[in-house]
Amino acid sequence: MYLDNAATMQKPQVVIDSMVEVYTKYNSNIHRGTHHLSNVCTEAFEEARIKIQKFINAANSHEVIFTRGTTESINLVANTFGEAFLNESDEVIISELEHHSNIVPWQMLRDRKGIVLKVIPINAEGELLLDEYRSLLSDKTKLVAVAHVSNALGTINPVREIIEAAHAKDIPVLIDGAQAVHHFPVNVTELDADFYVFSGHKLYGPTGIGVLYGKEELLNEMPPWHGGGEMIKSVTFEKTTYNELPFKFEAGTPDYVSAIGLGKAIDYLTSYSWNDIVDYERELLDYATEKLLAVEGLKIFGTTKNKSSVISFLVGNIHPYDMGVMLDKMGIAVRTGHHCAQPVMDRFGIPGTVRASFAIYNTKEEIDKLIEGVKKINQIFE
């Protein structure tokens, strides 16, 4: 029984089949040969890019850059935008809710360039304090980088307001959508996000593939990160000129098989209506929340109304590791620990939580089994 969907999703058969099909029917390196197979594979790869463009409603497909995942996307921005445009004492605003992947790349940039990190605090419900955020915005702020949805608490952040406030001061905004894109429709054009990043494996897709969406103008201004094949126009030992978007940021052979798989995952997800997905996940969340709260001594962390289908909790004094081990023995997979978001745990003064996260293939019967397990473990530890 799998309730660790916020860590990674199980893959629909159509996704797996699409990848097997590449390897067995038309595998060939993309954008390279003049031969038939290469053309078929390249077309499938570029078609996946267009599917992603439409999925997030980007203006152009060349604004969709393939990376290995959210982490690499953020590191790409830190190492290109950050290296080229941020200088000593410039400020980057992140939040207390961030996953380590949206903290550490900026700290590394801070250590290299002397930039300053500012942190938007959260309240006891796990919501960002927007007034505090607005007061952090200044002439020194050069970038705002925040999660769309908190991986540890499930909070859906008001990214539209966050972007509007930053844009009022001409500050670009990066949104980490790793925990968002599979839960509700994301429209980067409507949000006016400057960068939007997410991973394939949390979107019913394969591992090793992710996306950096960036506005064309910004991406064009940014220097490339990795050097190599495909990202160049011409190379002599004296001078290299770089290829255009998106290839400038896709050095080397990309994981085109996973990219094609991701395209298929998007086909799968969008074969359902967003209303149905949102309603069903909300139903699971509300059902699980109500049932869990009835367990004696159970406390939920992240209690905002506006949250995704993620529940972080602790029961009495039971350590999350103990709860996780016992649930595992019962065949129930949940995540335990700090969820790569240690500042969130510090904020609540806890070592970690038990996190159950639901996807569209989960059921209420599974939630009942979780509750039964939690109750039983609670009795053992009493």
Partner 1 sequence: MTINEKQDEIIEEFSVFDDWMDKYSYLIEIGNSLEGFDEKNRVEQNLIEGCQSRVWLNGELKDGKVYYTADSDAIITKGIVALLIRVMSGHAPDEILEADLYFIDKIGLKEHLSPTRSNGLVSMIKQMRMYALAFKTKMNG
Query: What's the closest the beta carbon of residue 319 comes to partner 1, in angstroms?
Result: 4
Of 209 and 334, the one with the shorter C-beta distance to partner 1 is 334
Question: In sequence order, which residues have a C-beta less than 8 Å from that of residue 36 and are 6 or more positions away?
Answer: none
Question: In sequence order, which residues have a C-beta less than 8 Å from that of residue 375 and are 6 or more positions away?
Answer: 295
Nearest to 358 by CA among 308, 322, 317: 308
Of 158 and 351, the one with the shorter C-beta distance to partner 1 is 351
Query: What's the closest the beta carbon of residue 376 comes to partner 1, in angstroms?
Result: 8
φ/ψ of residue 90, rounded to 5: -65, 150
User: How far apart are alpha carbons 366 and 372 in whole angstroms?
Assistant: 10
91 - beta bridge partners? 116, 141
Query: What's the closest the beta carbon of residue 9 comes to partner 1, in angstroms?
Result: 20
User: How far apart are alpha carbons 181 and 200 in whole angstroms?
Assistant: 10
Tally of CA atoms within 13 A in the half-sphere of 137 that contains its CB: 19
Of 264 and 339, the one with the shorter C-beta distance to partner 1 is 339
Binding residues vs partner 1 (CB under 8 A): 318-322, 324-326, 329, 336-338, 351-352, 380-381
Nearest to 271 by CA among 55, 32, 115: 55
Tally of CA atoms within 13 A in the half-sphere of 333 that contains its CB: 12
Of 65 and 332, the one with the shorter C-beta distance to partner 1 is 332
How do strand 210-214 and strand 64-67 relate by DSSP bridges? antiparallel
Of 271 and 317, the one with the shorter C-beta distance to partner 1 is 317
> What type of residue is 333?
A
The structure tokens listed for 297 are 């001594």
Tally of CA atoms within 13 A in the half-sphere of 51 that contains its CB: 21
* Active site (annotated) includes residue 41: no
Of 272 and 321, the one with the shorter C-beta distance to partner 1 is 321
**Cβ 105 vs Cβ 285: under 8 Å:** no
Query: What's the closest the beta carbon of residue 96 comes to partner 1, in angstroms?
Result: 20
Give CA angle at 162 (161, 163), nearest 5°.
90
Q: Which of 156, 340, 374, 377 is catalytic?
A: 340
Query: What's the closest the beta carbon of residue 333 comes to partner 1, in angstroms?
Result: 14
User: How far apart are alpha carbons 355 and 21 in whole angstroms?
Assistant: 35
Residues forming the active site: 340
